[in-house]
Chains A and B, each alone.
Chain A
């Protein structure tokens, strides 16, 4: 038998250090749901999702009981609706959003992602209709998540889409003003979006994916933080090694749960996403890991280097523990969902400029950031453009999930509740970017996109 201290270590990780599986996400293709009549298309989508995901939640719960490991979320991602609904003769796609919402509720999942469009090189008619339907969809549904990919390293940045998304974010905030702009917490603007991301709000089931697939996202900032308490004062070589070992263990657990889910649901296993995903709970924070490396508060000088080390070591440790690694894989830094990040913003140490720098070295972008309600659409677009540029030039995924909280100003707080947490409203640069955003067109792909 395994030795007693290894066993007790695992039990303690689960009991006291918030080790869990963050999500099992079932990807479902909607290509066979096309219909020129949008009502019929919506019904086909609803029925297919319910049929394929019928046993997802109960299977997840059974795995939880047998392995003794919490699986926090069971979720569904679908083919980008702009592609699945392209043949519908209708301007308003919110009907499909509502069909997804009702299917998600019937299946008992807590989010469904894929109200999405990929417009990095340009818009199809369907893409335009989908994007125009985002504010209505996010204000009339609870569980639907939306994402739009506006840039890739291969195609450059679609600045028309960047400009449009600034306006769509503002409209979505306005339409969900009674919930402090909650709709924007379910809307991600991507550069280099991945097709197999299991995490919300940015999950969709990409064009290269099979009919159905199981992707698993692990978690475990608390476990990494705990491990770093044991190596106080040691060199970075030791820190990196400690993070790698811990990431290996976390990922092995993700892999075993992924295998079990795939086998029991009769759905192929896709990937394990090696991400450190924080929650607002104390002891489950990425910011606190960076502070455990010796920073007084997350956001001070040294934060970017600490995050770079963490992100790299998580990947190195995790990659050998899983058969297939994919998704976003890295450390997440969503402000409202991370207790340490919230504290750092409130202390005035972490600002939007430092967060932007941090996104150069981690797996996501400016995530779950509340800004004043009077922030202009052009400023939001310019923030998206900056993030997209970081992603495009560095060959990585970046994203913006920003909430211009209606009626709020710097120093206020926005309460979303649950996993979405509590966002302190952060200041943005007051100088305008209107003429820059008004240009439109495309920022060409960088020279290193020409790899062939």
Chain B
């Protein structure tokens, strides 16, 4: 399943490293990644493929949310189709 992951947080060193290490540990493949800092707020969106992982979507979702809570990051992971449906005619 393709999913969009969004990460926002107060900018600091190592956010990308933390998130990408977690995804790598879960076996989730990153297909695309955008990152910017807007007014001190770190914002990143990732297009990921969960099919490469041995974990279920629910397990991946719980793991990234736990990671977010531990590292003061607001993380969401949602199926990609909802974004395409809302923003493409």
Where the two chains meet, the residues of A that have a C-beta atom closer than 8 Å to any C-beta of B are: 1-4, 6-8, 10-11, 15, 65-69, 249, 252-253, 255-256, 320
Contact = CB atoms under 8 A, between A and B. Distances in A.
B86 A68 contact: no
Interface string B47-89: 1000000000110010000000000000011110111111111
The 4 closest A-B pairs by CB, nearest first: A68-B78, A1-B32, A252-B85, A6-B87
A1 B85 contact: no
A6 B34 CA distance: 12
B6 A8 contact: yes
B30 to A, nearest CB: 11
Nearest to A320: B89
A65 B58 contact: yes
Contacts of A69: 78, 82
Interface of B: 1, 4, 6, 8, 31-32, 34, 36, 43, 45, 47, 57-58, 61, 76-79, 81-89
20 contacts: A1-B32, A1-B45, A2-B87, A3-B34, A4-B45, A6-B83, A7-B6, A7-B45, A10-B86, A11-B76, A65-B58, A66-B57, A66-B78, A66-B79, A68-B77, A68-B79, A69-B78, A69-B82, A252-B86, A256-B81
B76 A4 contact: no
A271 to B, nearest CB: 17
A3 B88 CA distance: 11
Contacts of A256: 81-82, 85
B76 A68 contact: yes
Given A4-B43, A7-B4, A68-B76, 16 more contacts: A1-B45, A2-B88, A4-B45, A7-B83, A8-B8, A10-B83, A10-B86, A65-B57, A66-B78, A66-B79, A68-B77, A68-B79, A249-B87, A252-B85, A256-B82, A320-B89
